[in-house]
Amino acid sequence: MTNTTHFYEKFVPEHYDLLIDVNREHKQISGISTITGDAKDKRVYVHQKYMTIASVKADGADVPYTFNDKDEAITIDLPQTGKTTLAIAYKAPLTDTMMGIYPSYYELDGEKKQLIGTQFETTAARQAFPSIDEPEAKATFDLALKFDEHDGETVIANMPENHVKDGVHYFDTTVKMSTYLVAFAFGDMQSKMTTTKSGVKVGVFSTKAHAPKELDFALDIAKRSIEFYEKFYETPYPLPHSWQLALPDFSAGAMENWGLVTYREAYLTLDPDNTSLEMKKLVATVIAHELAHQWFGDLVTMKWWDDLWLNESFANMMEYVAIDAIEPDWHIWEMFQTSEAPSALHRDATDGVQSVHVQVEDPAEIDALFDSAIVYAKGSRMLVMVRALLGDDDFRAGLKAYFEAHKYNNAKGDDLWSALGAASHLDVGAIMHSWLEQPGYPVVSASVDNGKLKISQQQFFIGEGKEVGRQWQIPLASNYSAAPQIFKDKEFVLGDYKQMRAASGEPFRLNVGNNSHFIVKYDETLLADILKDADKLDNISQLQLLQDLGLLAQGGQASYAELVKLLPRFADSKSGVVNAALYSAFGSLRKFTTPDSAEELQMKKFAAMLSGSQLERLGWMPKAGESSDDQQTRQDVMGAAIYSGSQEAVQSAHEIFGRFEGRLNELPADIRPYILLSEVRNFGNADLIKELLAQYRTTSDASYKGHLRTAITATEDPEQIKLIVKLFEDADTVKPQDLRAWYRGVLTNKVGQQYAWDWIKSQWQWLSDTVGGDMEFPTYIQVTANAFHTPERLAEFKAFFEPKLDTPGLGREIKMDTSVVAAKVDLIAAEKDVVNATVAEVLD
Ligand code: BES
Ligand code: ZN
């Protein structure tokens, strides 16, 4: 059979009775999936993967069937079409792949334990129960769950438990929903509960390895997010409860199962008394993301996986809308500008990148196409752009109509555009198609030519790029009224520059607010006009200046000299985002120096110069009651000071470390990674690494774990590095879900790089066997490319990865990443001297 037939066309399910029996000890699942629905054909297909089918009955009688793993299907021949009840008895393995029904491993008081959970998106429900495993095949579900149960274990699912009989847990019937959102979990858990104003029970669940207070933050954010969404969407949360569960092993970041959202521990539990504001913001946005899906994704679901981007882009935008509403002091949109915007602008500038919307039939392909910088970051920018264009009122009115029309049902991207179009009287579809169906984005050049102010658009590339004449419908967001609202043409003349400048009294600007997905290249006259009073611009505009100039420099369209000279002008900014942009730009300069060279020494001095007076103002230790801008700025300047290696910085960090010796977890989380890293780098020895590793293995605090990893992987002692690389394959220390971060840590360490690179080359098969089925797999290539920028590494990169170009799911990544490294090699050859000369000049 061809994979373009959707099983749903042949059998439309209405209701499932699932009996699932999980045996942890024998790592076996057995069950009966009873599906009532409408057979449109006498030959119907039901999804299954890795199962043994014991029997198939239709309306109580055995019917002929075949099954295989290649098609992931059971082919069933029915005596007639029409309303039919299929009963399929099966067995399946309980595997450690973090997909389907799977165990998570953890330790409690030295005892090894497991928690069983599920992960079905995109197509792993078919590993748990035979089903029409397509998003359009919505049905209701009755779950009956049995397992080798011990006293005191907790069991949870999408719906509340109804009763227990003969060791079987029966749950209430679900609303109509897609298979990929079914979920359950059981094991030795703790929980905390509350209730929303509208009566929805909210709970947070985790293993007992966490202190109970680690559940509090998530509970509060979850409750307030649901309350926010009920108002924002003007649609009540339709289920009796919303459980949030932290799983010790988790392949994605989090998953929006309806009524039972699952998370990586790092994205749910945290120590409320010692976690950085940055991490709290991250956890809050993850929770808000998954809860946004309870409506957009769960209530209204994409018809097919090609529109998965719509689900994800939308939730990715709503994270910020929700958190901005419930924690306005956090200025969370600033985080959008320092994380999503640069990630999208950077990735989308490489030729060969995919478009946001890609036609796919085979769901395995969509997993391979799941480029988060595009699907999440660019996609959410697209929606932010639409929201800015429509205004919040029309945007919400359109959304409400969309929910009304499609709830408990499915929709396509175009259904959303028409709902938003109807609410706003704009041709939203036409505008969005130009952004979603084409890869890349434009640079808009603005110049004064013979006294006339004009603009033009062209695709922006970093590295080699083939100009194929793409054009976009660009919401310009200019401060000059002569600029069109939407710029569709190749070129446009606004009019007489002097007159407009005089009339407006301000420098000419485009993309004010940085909500549209393009960058601006101002000519000399226009840029000088803006820079004159750059210090008076708002924070986002300052960040945007640095970001756009940095991108233009990477694309060879501006000189790094300009960027280097600009940095000191912002060095005393009190804004967290401006400093984030500044130090990110500074970070991009470091590759222009070779390790241990005179130039590197000079770059370090530059770091000291930029960070010096800020560090004096802020001090090393966080202060009670200081602003979030100050907290964030301290992290950036401390990072720079430690990079500078100045005696003063090294000693300050060492002194703080000494004060917390024996209780390192109590180091204030804001500064902890920097203090630990500096200690390892400047005073580290085998004992210290051993101590930090021991802490890593035993702490339940995921953010502390992250800081320990940062410090451990920074060691420059080859013997210690060898030992660390050995741990990559020891799941008792480095869980597969955390391996990429460890690999990155060692790879970006100048002494470690060769060891990490040798490891991945020799262990590629092991890596592929361990995380190969995962969407994260191709990102190991990306991480590698991001660390490389020399001609030697480029040659080695090509030699290793080019033979793998035909590996399914890796080809595009390898091509793009080769071009990413090549672009850096060329850039360094072209700009190295200018960068270092300008740094010298600025230091003078
Ligand atoms: N639905 C996704 C997770 C997912 C996507 C699983 C595609 C399988 C296939 C979930 O809502 C999500 O977006 N998770 C993010 C975390 C996040 C808050 C950005 C993730 O896993 O990275
Ligand atoms: Zn999502």
The residues facing 258 across adjacent strands are none
Please name the fold of domain 1-187: Immunoglobulin-like (2.60.40)
Rounded Cα gap, residues 511 and 341, in angstroms: 13
Q: Residue for token digits 């478009």?
A: 355
Please name the fold of domain 443-532: Immunoglobulin-like (2.60.40)
Rounded to a whole number of angstroms, the distance between the first and last alpha carbons of the chain is: 72
Neighbours of ion ligand 2 (CB under 5 A): 312, 315
Atom of ligand 1 nearest to the CA of 264: 21
Determine the distance separating the centroid of ligand 1 and the alpha carbon of 287, expressed in angstroms.
Answer: 11
Which pLDDT score, from 0 to 100, does residue 773 have?
Answer: 77
Cβ burial, residue 597 (10 Å; 0-12/13-18/19+) = exposed
Which pLDDT score, from 0 to 100, does residue 776 have?
Answer: 85
Atom of ligand 1 nearest to the CA of 290: 11
Burial 646-655 (b: 16+ CB within 10 A, else e): beebbebbee
Rounded Cα gap, residues 189 and 153, in angstroms: 7
For residue 118, the ligand closest to its alpha carbon is 1
Closest residue by CA, ligand 1 atom 3: 255
Cβ–Cβ under 8 Å, residues 488 and 470: no
Q: Of the residues 227, 256, 265, 290, which is catalytic?
A: 290
Which pLDDT score, from 0 to 100, does residue 1 have?
Answer: 42
Which pLDDT score, from 0 to 100, does residue 2 have?
Answer: 43
Mean pLDDT by 10 residues, the chain (844 residues): 77 98 98 98 98 98 96 97 98 95 96 97 97 98 98 98 98 98 98 98 98 98 98 95 98 97 98 96 98 98 95 97 97 96 97 94 80 95 96 94 96 96 95 96 98 98 97 98 97 98 97 98 97 94 97 96 96 97 97 96 98 97 94 97 96 98 97 98 97 97 97 98 98 96 98 98 95 86 98 98 92 95 98 98 95
Cβ–Cβ under 8 Å, residues 204 and 192: yes
Active-site residue, 290 included: yes
Strand order in 491-496's β-sheet? 491-496, 452-459, 442-449, 519-522
The alpha carbon of residue 543 and the mean position of all alpha carbons in its chain are separated, in whole angstroms, by 22
**Shared fold status for 1-187 and 305-436:** no
Question: At 636, is the secondary structure helix, strand, or coil?
Answer: helix
**Helices 779-787 and 791-801, packing angle to 10 deg:** 160
How many alpha carbons fall within 13 Å on the CB side of residue 348? 32
Q: Which residues' Cβ are closer than 6 Å to ligand 1?
A: 121-122, 252-256, 286, 289-290, 293, 312, 315, 376
Which pLDDT score, from 0 to 100, does residue 370 have?
Answer: 83
Identify which of 180, 245, 255 to mutate to test ligand 1's pocket (most ligand atoms within 8 A of the CB). 255
Domain segments of the chain as ranges: 1-187, 305-436, 443-532
Rounded Cα gap, residues 108 and 802, in angstroms: 45
Determine the distance separating the centroid of ligand 2 and the alpha carbon of 14, expressed in angstroms.
Answer: 26
Cβ–Cβ under 8 Å, residues 486 and 473: yes
Closest residue by CA, ligand 1 atom 2: 255
User: CA angle at residue 358 from 392 to 808, to 5 degrees?
Assistant: 140
Determine the distance separating the centroid of ligand 1 and the alpha carbon of 123, expressed in angstroms.
Answer: 14
Give 410-471 as a 3 state SS string: EECHHHHHHHHHHHHCCCHHHHHHHHHCCCCCEEEEEEEECCEEEEEEEECCCCCCCCCCCC
Rounded Cα gap, residues 798 and 389, in angstroms: 43
- pTM, two decimals, is 0.97
Atom of ligand 1 nearest to the CA of 367: 9
Determine the distance separating the centroid of ligand 1 and the alpha carbon of 699, expressed in angstroms.
Answer: 26
Please name the fold of domain 305-436: Neutral Protease; domain 2 (1.10.390)
Find the helix or strand (DSSP H, E) in which 170 lies. Answer: strand 168-171
DSSP structural state of residue 42: S
Atom of ligand 1 nearest to the CA of 293: 11
Which pLDDT score, from 0 to 100, does residue 4 have?
Answer: 67
Determine the distance separating the centroid of ligand 1 and the alpha carbon of 520, expressed in angstroms.
Answer: 32
Atom of ligand 1 nearest to the CA of 289: 18
Identify which of 97, 133, 290 to mutate to test ligand 1's pocket (most ligand atoms within 8 A of the CB). 290
Find the helix or strand (DSSP H, E) in which 34 lies. Answer: strand 28-39
